[in-house]
């Protein structure tokens, strides 16, 4: 089915019809898809396969569905994207690499960035030729985001950025960094922050990957030394960075859980052949928690599709997803410790080990578990200054 056909028919069908047509396309494209779906242990190779998968989906028209036409998409909603991810995982896709950042950063660009800038950069993001990093944390400002020190000052023409970011996701692979910087005074805390898109190829940018305990280097550190950022690359309003960042984090803590739980599900299924009678209770608990994440995530997706604010409910979803991720990988460790605990020649087992090690940090990234509990106490339970 050509791009025009995909574009026309997404507007005239139910989600079920859309899924059926996507399955038909996957079956017809099996020879092209098959090499791109399985995970590989080498993270650079995994990123390259994910980029090529995005390119294939984009060229066939599917990769533009779920994004607004005025931003370069084909229309539809996040529910269309979620359905495609579900089918890709069922077909053997080996991980959410690249799509994670698409689901965190791209909605923020569509909502807050200059429309002309979004129309210029979103298509290259969707088709995989350019990726984005997320620059929030700093050496002296981790969970306390409002204390960040990276500073931008306007010289009459451009914003001049100086400072450093740490634990910057995907800086090794990205062309752009969606960064939160200080344009006001330190005393203004969150009211003095601005979000901007920084070209990582610009003079004055230095990026270095950080090798993680699981052997991957998807995180990094980046320094800005007199980096010039044009005004049209401000995302939202000057001084309005906190609002834009809360919108981004609601997606990272909320709707992204849909993509992540699909990977947990497939890893649990792949280990089912190693189950014993003694592990059925542990696997049952993991499966029930996965169903819980799926239920809460689809609720957030439906709210996003109807243009409702996700709000503090995303904090609850982040907590549930964190607990589920660790429950699933703890179960896999106990069911088949050889696959998780030791080096492997098998790509599938090596990736499973990497995912297990990554699951140890999920209570920290995207806002710590303690911060999520505080958000729930104050904004959902109404406990004031608890």
Active site residues: 252
Label residue 24 exposed, middle or buried (CB < 10 Å: 0-12, 13-18, 19+).
exposed
Phi-psi region of 76 (alpha: psi -120 to 50; beta: other; left: phi over 0): left
Cβ atoms 219, 164 nearer than 8 A? no
CA distance 77 to 93: 22
Ranges of beta strands (E only) in 233-346 are: 234-235
Farthest-apart Cα atoms in the chain, separation: 70
Q: Which CA distances in Å does 225 have to 136, 165, 200, 204, 344?
A: 17, 12, 12, 5, 42
| Cα torsion angle, 239, 364, 260, 295, sign | negative
CA distance 12 to 306: 18
């Amino acid at each position: 089915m050509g791009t025009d056909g995909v574009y026309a028919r997404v507007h005239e069908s139910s989600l079920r019809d859309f899924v059926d047509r996507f399955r038909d396309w996957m079956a017809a494209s099996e020879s092209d898809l098959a090499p791109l779906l399985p995970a590989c242990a080498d993270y650079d190779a995994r990123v390259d396969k994910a980029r090529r998968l995005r390119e294939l989906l984009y060229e066939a028209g599917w990769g533009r569905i779920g994004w607004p036409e005025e931003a370069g998409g084909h229309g539809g909603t996040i529910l269309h994207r979620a359905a495609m991810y579900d089918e890709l995982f069922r077909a053997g896709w080996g991980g959410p690499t690249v799509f994670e950042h698409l689901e965190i950063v791209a909605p923020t660009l569509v909502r807050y960035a200059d429309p002309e800038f979004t129309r210029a950069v979103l298509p290259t993001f969707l088709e995989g030729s350019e990726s984005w990093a997320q620059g929030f944390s700093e050496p002296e400002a981790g969970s306390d985001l409002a204390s960040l020190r990276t500073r931008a000052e306007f010289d009459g023409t451009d914003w001049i950025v100086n400072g450093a970011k740490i634990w910057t996701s995907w800086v090794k692979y990205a062309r752009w960094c969606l960064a939160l910087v200080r344009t006001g005074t330190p005393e203004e805390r969150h009211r003095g922050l601005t979000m901007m898109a920084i070209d990582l190829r610009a003079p004055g940018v230095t990026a270095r990957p950080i090798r993680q305990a699981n052997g991957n280097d998807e995180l990094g550190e980046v320094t800005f030394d007199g980096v010039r950022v044009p005004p049209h690359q401000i995302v939202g309003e000057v001084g309005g960075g906190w609002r834009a960042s809360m919108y981004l984090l609601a997606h990272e803590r909320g709707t992204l859980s849909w993509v992540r739980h699909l990977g947990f599900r497939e890893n649990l299924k792949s280990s089912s052949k190693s189950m014993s009678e003694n592990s059925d209770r542990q696997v049952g608990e993991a499966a029930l928690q996965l169903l819980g994440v799926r239920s809460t995530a689809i609720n957030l997706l439906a709210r996003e599709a109807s243009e409702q604010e996700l709000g503090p409910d995303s904090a609850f979803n982040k907590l549930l997803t964190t607990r589920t991720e660790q429950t699933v990988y703890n179960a896999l460790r106990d069911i088949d410790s050889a696959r998780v605990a030791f080096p492997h020649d098998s790509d599938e087992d090596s990736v499973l080990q990497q995912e297990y090690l990554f699951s140890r940090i999920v209570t920290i990234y995207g806002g710590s578990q303690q911060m999520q509990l505080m958000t729930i106490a104050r904004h959902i339970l109404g406990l004031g200054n608890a």
